[in-house]
Structure 1
Amino acid sequence: MTESIVDLSPADRHRAVSEGFAEQVAAVSEWDAPTPVDGWVARDVVAHLVEWFPGFLAGGGVTLPAGPDVADDPVAAWRAHSAAVQDLLDGPSADDTFTHPMAGEHRLADAVDRFYTADVFMHTWDLAAAAGRPSGLDPTFAGQLLDGMVGMEELLRSSGQYGAAVPVPDDADPVVRLAGFIGRDPAWAPRAGRPVRR
């Protein structure tokens, strides 16, 4: 991503972020490689995104078509899943009201943008780190996400979805600061990780 995605529509932002993630997926050569997420291998990063979001949508009455199993083909699974989400955002239901018992009421496109696209963005860093590759993440959008999360840090930590923040230098770029905030060690490298056997 060479231009900022901050000002894009939810549909276009998802397109850009999911394509960035797809580039990292395509570059994975070892799906059992460790990642910066404790206990996760590369395949688990894809599985997390493909598996949690359909359930979230279903909680608001929206059905996402099932695709290939991540265990069989992570690349095909991601391709099918991201295309299904994009179809949702490009379709007429994007402006519908989406009411979720836990997330509240939002325009469907905004719910996807806030709860899902941001998650794909952050997990792009994990998959890139697992392969020893640059993430290519948009620093402006990373800074925007970080600013929004800092204001609700206590709530985020108590949810159990984020580990303790990892200190980073004050002059670190926004992508590094976001990684540290969500509990990733920006200095993590594949050689420092430990393979997880399944």
Structure 2
Amino acid sequence: MPELYERIAERFGELILNCPPDRWEDPSPCPGWTAWDVVAHVISNHRRAIAGLDGSGYSAPGRGEDLPRAWDAASEAIKAALRDPVKARTLLGEEFGSMPFEEFVRRMACADTLIHGWDLARATGQDEGLDSEAVAVATEILLPEDRDIRMPQAFGAKVPSAADADARTRLLNFLGRQV
């Protein structure tokens, strides 16, 4: 599991670093969100996960915050916790579905960081490729939650997929993204 998270996090970090400076305010596939908003959301969820693990407070990045630096700190904190067997198995509270930290990260990485990585790439004109193992894991996690994820500020209505669509396209369409 740590390897999958590390690949997804590394890719997300590359997208942040390679974002053209004039594209941060471009609209993302998430209605009402810019590229900056997508990155701030993912960083905030990472900070929230660490806060759930250690009881600390957290905040979303502010407009003046250095996003590459904030991402590095947030993803490194997750990686460090995953490498610690006690922290990795720590049961998070009800807010997190009462699951072990490592399982929450698995779900967060695939259902949030992976998909929002695609959103960021689309918004900023970067490579929209996705890790095939992560796509398979995200599909396994999200398909059974179809009803639960169709709410405001989550995932939009499904987009029909062509019969011959690949796994990445089917997942993105399932999550309301036009590919």
TM-score bracket for this pair, using the shorter chain length: 0.7 to 0.9
CA distance in 2, matches of 1:104, 1:147: 17
Letter in 2 for 1:133: Q
Q: What is the Cα deviation at residue 95 of structure 1?
A: 3.6
Structure-2-length-normalised TM-score = 0.84
Kindly indicate whether residue 82 of structure 2 is the aligned counterpart of residue 89 of structure 1: yes
Letter in 2 for 1:46: V
Q: What is the Cα deviation at residue 127 of structure 1?
A: 0.7
Residue matched to 2:71: 78
Identity of aligned residues (%): 30
Letter in 1 for 2:109: T
Residue matched to 1:7: none
Larger proportion of strand? 1
Provide the alpha-carbon RMSD of the alignment.
Answer: 2.5
Alignment of 1:79-118 (within 5 A): 79-114=72-107, 116-118=108-110
Larger proportion of helix? 2
Indicate if the aligned counterparts of 1:97 and 1:105 stay in contact, CA closer than 8 A.
Answer: no
Bigger relative contact order, structure 1 or 2 (CA pairs below 8 A, ≥6 apart):
1
Alignment of 1:31-50 (within 5 A): 31-50=24-43
Residue matched to 2:19: 28
Kindly tell me: are residues 43 and 170 of structure 1, through their superposed partners in 2, closer, same or farther at Cα, counting changes over 3 Å? same
CA distance in 1, matches of 2:53, 2:93: 5
Deviates more, 1:142-151 or 1:43-52: 142-151
Kindly tell me: are residues 104 and 35 of structure 1, through their superposed partners in 2, closer, same or farther at Cα, counting changes over 3 Å? closer
Q: Deviations over 1:137-176 (max 9, x none)?
A: 1234313322432222112214751110112212111111
Deviates more, 1:35-44 or 1:151-160: 151-160
> Any stretches of 5+ residues in structure 2 without a counterpart?
none
Indicate if the aligned counterparts of 1:139 and 1:175 stay in contact, CA closer than 8 A.
Answer: yes
Structure-1-length-normalised TM-score = 0.77
Letter in 1 for 2:5: H
> Any stretches of 5+ residues in structure 1 without a counterpart?
1-9, 187-198
Residue matched to 2:165: 172
Kindly tell me: are residues 63 and 13 of structure 1, through their superposed partners in 2, closer, same or farther at Cα, counting changes over 3 Å? farther
Indicate if the aligned counterparts of 1:59 and 1:100 stay in contact, CA closer than 8 A.
Answer: yes
